[in-house]
């Protein structure tokens, strides 16, 4: 597999179920980076992620006997939904093993396509081992989420669409967990135009590909820790690793804090919800050392549950000083609270929460603590509010408090 003929065949097969996600030009990210930035919105794909492509193509290549045995896979969510959807389309049974930490939305969506879900392990690697065990015990046909050249060929159809729509693309940024998407996209892109640079982006807390490149062979991390649950993989694909070595030009790692900021950027500027793994290529844009290039960021998925979304938004607002908390000590006498509130109001701050603690000191006349959480327009506005409070004699201290 991973031949041009196979990619062309996969493109025709995948068209039966997948949406051709057209590129979106981003004025915002283009201005921020000095490049012409295009987004490949696989978050808008059926099942909410690109994984449908590889899963459907893989299942299309199975024999009737292999499909009749029933399918099984392991996934943090997106491949699970892809396999479940494809299995339903082919009328065969699917069992999906998912980590116990998988967001509820991804679990429920997978069940909605008719698959049986088994929750096992804290990370993908533990789920995968259990799925392999079940496959051996019950004779199921195992569909690997990434370490399979056939699956990778299906994922590579994304590159076919990118090059068809933007023939002179200079850089393609692709998220990496196990490496299936990166394998398919990089291999086909290089076939179509060897000048295209492929940059793999992975979370700093699960940088298994970077560690493997440095070692010259696939290595297993001791552990992973990242909010990008879809790319929280300890070991890159062993079968596909040679393709990654050959076709990846650079690896960029991204911290979780950068993903939080990228989420706000996408929501505010493009009105799109993109899951943390899909945001890797957005956060990586500012790490590029080039200008005036045509860059495509693949948004690999958009399956994020509401609780995670709420937490990311909250952390993002705090990071950008759109929400902040201060502690002010003031005498315990009438009028002091009004004086503080009036000063904040005059500076156009919007108070979200107040915590008035009379017992911070045994001498209440000397010091009562007032904790104030408020909204601002950003760092400059926050500084203006603090300066206004200092001007009337208070000494506000910034503190870390979640709303």
Catalytic residue positions, numbered: 51, 300
CA distance 238 to 215: 13
In sequence order, what are the beta bridge partners of 371? 327, 355
Burial 58-93 (b: 16+ CB within 10 A, else e): bbbbbeeeebebbbbbbbbbbbbbbbbbbbebeebb
Contacts of 361 (CB under 8 A, 6+ apart): 367, 368
The backbone torsions φ and ψ at residue 384, rounded to the nearest 5 degrees and listed phi first, read -65, -40
Contacts of 159 (CB under 8 A, 6+ apart): 172, 184, 185, 186, 188, 189, 192
Contacts of 102 (CB under 8 A, 6+ apart): 76, 77, 119, 229
Task: For 340-399, give the secondary structure using H, E and C.
Answer: HHHHHHHCCCEEEEEEEECCCCCCCCCCEEEEEEEECCCHHHHHHHHHHHHHCCCCCEEE
CA distance 203 to 213: 15
Neighbours of 14 (CB within 10 A): 26
CA distance 70 to 67: 6
Burial zone of 264 (CB within 10 Å; 0-12 exposed, 13-18 middle, 19+ buried): middle
The backbone torsions φ and ψ at residue 6, rounded to the nearest 5 degrees and listed phi first, read -65, -40
CA torsion sign for 241, 245, 248, 250 is positive
CA distance 129 to 143: 13
Which H/E stretch holds residue 155?
helix 149-155
Residue 374 contacts residue 323 (beta carbons within 8 Å): yes
CA torsion sign for 112, 113, 118, 119 is negative
């Amino acid at each position: 597999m991973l031949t041009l003929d196979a990619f062309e065949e996969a493109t025709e097969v995948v068209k039966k179920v997948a949406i051709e996600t057209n590129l979106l030009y981003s004025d915002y990210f283009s201005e921020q980076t000095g490049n012409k930035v295009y987004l490949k919105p696989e978050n808008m794909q059926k099942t909410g992620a690109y994984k449908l492509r590889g899963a459907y193509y893989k299942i299309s290549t199975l024999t009737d006997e292999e499909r009749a045995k029933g399918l099984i896979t392991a996934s943090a969510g997106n491949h699970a939904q892809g396999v479940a959807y494809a299995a339903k389309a082919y009328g065969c049974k699917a069992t999906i093993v998912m980590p116990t930490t998988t967001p509820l939305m991804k679990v429920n969506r997978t069940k909605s396509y008719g698959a049986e879900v088994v929750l096992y392990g804290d990370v993908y690697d533990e789920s995968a081992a259990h799925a392999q065990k079940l496959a051996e015990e019950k004779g199921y046909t195992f569909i690997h989420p990434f370490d399979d050249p056939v699956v990778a060929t299906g994922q590579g159809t994304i590159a076919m669409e990118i090059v068809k729509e933007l023939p002179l693309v200079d850089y393609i940024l692709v998220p990496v967990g196990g490496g299936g998407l990166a394998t398919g996209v990089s291999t086909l892109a290089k076939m179509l135009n060897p000048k295209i640079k492929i940059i793999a982006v992975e979370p700093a807390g699960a940088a298994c590909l970077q560690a493997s490149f440095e070692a010259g062979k696939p290595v297993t991390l001791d552990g992973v820790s990242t909010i990008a649950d879809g790319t929280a993989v300890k070991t890159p694909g062993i079968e596909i690793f040679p393709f990654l070595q050959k076709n990846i030009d650079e690896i960029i790692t991204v911290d979780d804090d950068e993903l939080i900021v990228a989420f706000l950027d996408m929501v505010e500027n493009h009105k799109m919800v993109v899951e943390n793994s899909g945001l890797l290529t957005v956060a990586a844009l500012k790490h590029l050392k080039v200008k005036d290039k045509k860059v495509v960021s693949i948004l690999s998925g958009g399956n994020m549950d509401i609780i995670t979304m709420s937490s990311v938004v909250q952390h993002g607002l705090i990071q950008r000083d759109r929400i902040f908390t201060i502690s002010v000590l003031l005498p315990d006498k009438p009028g002091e609270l009004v004086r503080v509130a009036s000063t904040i109001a005059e500076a156009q701050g919007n108070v979200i929460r107040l915590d008035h603690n009379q017992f911070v000191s045994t001498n209440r006349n000397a010091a009562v603590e007032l904790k104030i959480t408020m909204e601002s327009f950003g760092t400059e506005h926050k500084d203006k509010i603090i300066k206004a409070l200092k001007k009337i004699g208070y000494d506000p201290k910034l503190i870390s408090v979640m709303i």
